[in-house]
Amino acid sequence: MFENQTIFNGNVVVWCFVKDLSASVDWYTNILGIKPTNNIDVAYFFPINENTKLAISNRFKASDSNVLPKSVALDLQSDHVFETHSLLKEKGVQVQAIENPVLNYHEFYFKDLDDNLIRVHGFA
């Protein structure tokens, strides 16, 4: 399927994790002057350019609710998230299980050689 094409579609999302989503949406809108173009209940997306978005979310995994994860994470969007997951596994990458946190949105994580966390997401 990916013989002559890339597995990623060029869309990049930079994530910021926040405690109060509503207040943060207001802050980014009023302070930075950008309005969210859409949301998925747990995240709002602000356009930076045609291929890049800023996402703010209050959905995070942490044992202590006062501790936020690192906000900036490389997040690559794939039009074929399940096939991308399989391909990376075939290449020996230790990928986490695909999660489906909301509606048709799916995501999974893996780490690069320096343990930098990378998320791949898609809508299926």
pLDDT in tens, 79-113: 999 999 999 999 899 999 999 988 999 999 988 77
pLDDT in tens, 38-64: 998 889 999 988 999 988 888 765 444
**Strands of the sheet with 99-102, listed across from one edge:** 38-39, 43-49, 52-57, 12-17, 74-77, 117-123, 105-111, 99-102
Topology of 12-123 in CATH?
Answer: 2,3-Dihydroxybiphenyl 1,2-Dioxygenase; domain 1 (3.10.180)
CA distance 15 to 60: 11
**Count of residues in the chain:** 124
